[in-house]
Structure formats: structure tokens, C-alpha cells
Copies of this chain bind each other. A is one copy, B any other.
Amino acid sequence: MNRYLITGFSGFVARHFAEYLESTKDSFLLKGVDVQTPCFMFDHYKNVKIDFEQVDLLSKEQVKSIIKEFQPTAILHLASFSSVALSWKEPVRSFRNNTNIFLNLIDAVRKLNMDVRILSVGSSEEYGNVNDNDLPLTEDRRLNPVSPYAVARVSQEYLSQIYIGGYGMDIVMTRSFNHIGPMQRDVFVVSSLARQLVELKRSGKKRGAIVAGDVSIIRDFTDVRDVVRAYHSLLQRGRRGEVYNVCSGRGISLKELIDIMASQLGVEVDITVDDRLIRPADNRKIIGSNEKIKRELGWSNVIPLEKSLKDIIDYWDEN
């Protein structure tokens, strides 16, 4: 029986991960932990059994006792204080709730001397400021974190390498680029834009304004359902000690995303720029290379951007 411990279980990635496991028809026992209780039900699964427990990963004792009791065969570490913008407002909280929680987790596994694969989810933010010559970003590029969040993620990756090399632990790492999909909270940009567009549509107007930051920036978006397939492959077949970009390899501007969604909804949009949504040290353009994960695991993203955006719109339309 596969026994997966999933941290950050109340987030939308965990939910899609559980959906994906259910679809594989294999049997899974999931232990989900999070500081917040999930706002979704998980009693409709047939192959996946889920047990949730509210846990603060900053509590070393709690973390250790859960791992000891559950005896996971794999750990998917999704828990994160993942907002770059908020990390500037609360740098200490961001650092503790990224780096220190991860350290507590891997140290508990070390102390329990367990042989368990851990997937350490990191971020494209670790690359920091890049110029167009560096694109698409490959995993061997020098890291240059430029936000508190990014520093926390780089520290997490360095700690992983120490626990792998020094204690022989079985950790695989990602640098995950932007992911999008239904059920993502609207503190994230695409979800926020989709929600505003749905509200515009519902207002009955043909044309209206939405609020955004700099919509000319180009990012690499992957559907969360492709992302969770990548995570599962990495848990099963990723090479120990290796870092993998999880991305589409394709860049698109926020403006283009807005245009696609507006067209799908049949509305016309004026963009009101809110300076507070513009991050000071932001990159103009970020595109990752997914050659390594393609080559080694045969993974690639298969959900077209248009479908992702349509599903996000439908999600907001229903909620």
C-alpha cells in the first residue's frame, strides 16, 4: 500500500494531487497535514483513503510523532508561505514557514532513521533576476534569490542537499514555475484576473475594467493537473539528489492571458493598473526549460493553456 504524507494539504495543489491519485486506480492511503483545515470534502474517493490532521509544522514534536505513527512511504512537501509579495511584508514569517518547517520535516525523518522518499517543492523564484540570454532557465543556472520568499526556497534546497549528502536521505527537489488551475485562491494573479472577468460578465456589461499590476510581464504557466502528475513521477522515479524544473517551457504575457479569457467570456476589458500590484525587483520575462524532466521521466505538460483558462473561468462561475 502506498502511504503518502502530504503537507500543505489544504491548498489547491494537494487537492489536485489527490484527484490525480484517485484517477490512477491504484490504492493510496493519504495523511494530509496543514495548519488550516481543508475547505473541500474527500469522501467521494474510491481508491484514495484520506486522513487529515491539523498540524503546525513549526512544532518539531508534532511533526515527528505524525511521521512516526503514519510511517509514510513517500512525503510530498507542499506546505509553504508562497506569496512573494507577502514575504516582503512579513519576511520572518515567510522564512520560518518555508525553510524552518521543511527543516523540521526532514530532521524528523533523519532522527527516525526512515527510508522514505521526500519531494521538496521549490520555486522558479530561486533563479532571481535573469536576463533574456539566460532563457529558458536550466537547472544548472546560478541561483540569485531576490525576495525573502526566494531566499527561503534556496535555503530549503541547500538544506536538502546537506541531508542527502551528509545523512544519506532520499530527497528529490523541484523548482516549480507558476501553476494555474481551478480552485486556486484569488491571491494568485491568474485566478484573480479570471474572477474579475467572470464578475464583469455576470454584471451584464459588454465592457468593463479589471485591476491588475504590470500585465506586460511574461511568465511560464503550467496547469496544476500537469504539475501534480510531474510530482507523482518525481516521487516514483526522480533521481535522488536532483533538482527538476517543473514548467511548460513556454512564456506568455498576462495581457495575452487576459485577452484569451475575455474572448472566452465574450467581454471587452480595460485594464486599470494598480501600482501596489507591481513588484519592485520583478523580472520582465521568466521561462523555464523542462528538458531535464522530459528527458529523464518522460513527463510533459499536455493540458492546453486555453483549457486551463476555461476551467478556471468555469470554477469561478460556479463558486
Stretch of A25-33, A158-166, A258-266 on the interface side? A158-166
Bound Cα distance A110, B91 (Å): 10
Is A218 interfacial (CB 8 A cutoff)? no
**Does the CB pair B142–A162 fall under 8 Å?**
no
Interface residues on A, range: 20 to 34
Number of copies of this chain that the complex holds: 2
Bound Cα distance A90, B103 (Å): 12
- Please, which residue of chain B has its CB at the minimum distance from the CB of A154? B158
**Does the CB pair A151–B159 fall under 8 Å?**
yes
Is A99 interfacial (CB 8 A cutoff)? yes
Is A107 interfacial (CB 8 A cutoff)? yes
Which residues between 129 and 183 of chain A lie within 8 Å of chain B, taking CB atoms?
A: 142, 145-148, 151, 154-155, 158-159, 162-163, 165-166
A131 smallest CB distance to B (angstroms): 17
Q: Contact check: which of B88, B104, B162 meets A146 at CB < 8 Å?
A: B162
**Does the CB pair B162–A91 fall under 8 Å?**
yes
**Does the CB pair B142–A142 fall under 8 Å?**
yes
Is A100 interfacial (CB 8 A cutoff)? yes
Is A294 interfacial (CB 8 A cutoff)? no
Interface of chain A, main secondary structure: helix
Bound Cα distance A104, B151 (Å): 15
Which residues of chain B come closer than 8 Å to A158, judged between CB atoms?
A: 145, 151, 154-155
Known contacts being A142-B142, A162-B145, A166-B148, is A103 close to B95, with CB within 8 Å? yes
Is A3 interfacial (CB 8 A cutoff)? no
A52 smallest CB distance to B (angstroms): 26
- Please, which residue of chain B has its CB at the minimum distance from the CB of A155? B155
**Does the CB pair B159–A60 fall under 8 Å?**
no
Which residues of chain B come closer than 8 Å to A88, judged between CB atoms?
A: 166
Is A284 interfacial (CB 8 A cutoff)? no
Most B-side CB within 10 Å, residue of A91, A154, A163, A165 = A91
Which residues of chain B come closer than 8 Å to A159, judged between CB atoms?
A: 91, 95, 148, 151
9 nearest A-B residue pairs (beta carbon): A155-B155, A151-B158, A92-B107, A148-B162, A151-B162, A151-B159, A145-B158, A92-B103, A95-B103
